Amino acid sequence: QVQLVESGGGLVQPGGSLRLSCAASGSIFSIYAMGWYRQAPGKQRELVAVITSGGVTNYADSVKGRFTISRDNAKNTVYLQMNSLKPEDTAVYYCNGLHTTQGSWYPQWYWGQGTQVTVSS
């Protein structure tokens, strides 16, 4: 029932930075976890960052040390700060609420349109 709108993508050179935003139509205060996914052309959707209601974060090895996920419950918004961007980070980025079962994360809501990130010289 929650609607999601991603924004902040664009074209940047390798080594550059972008900050993505995910605005939710309802309160995310009570949501256990939120995450960012990405999907490159011809590849599967990949979960790259997770943040729980308690502020615990987790990252895919491919982005660890370069990306930072955060949430602002008052604004019903989740952010992804992306630094030291590489061409392989090029993808459409999506956010979603998350549910965990048997050690794995799964999306909770319908997908938004995503935001395109292109890293190229």
Digit-by-digit pLDDT tens for the chain (121 residues) are 789 999 999 999 999 999 999 999 987 777 889 999 999 999 999 999 999 988 999 999 999 999 999 999 889 999 999 999 999 999 999 999 999 889 899 999 999 999 999 999 9
Q: What is the pLDDT of residue 32?
A: 84
Backbone angles phi and psi of 30, in degrees to 5: -90, 0
Please report the pLDDT score of residue 87 as a whole number.
98
Task: Report the alpha-carbon distance of residue 27 to residue 85 in Å, rounded.
Answer: 31
Cα–Cα distance measured from residue 108 to residue 111, given in angstroms and rounded to the nearest whole number:
9
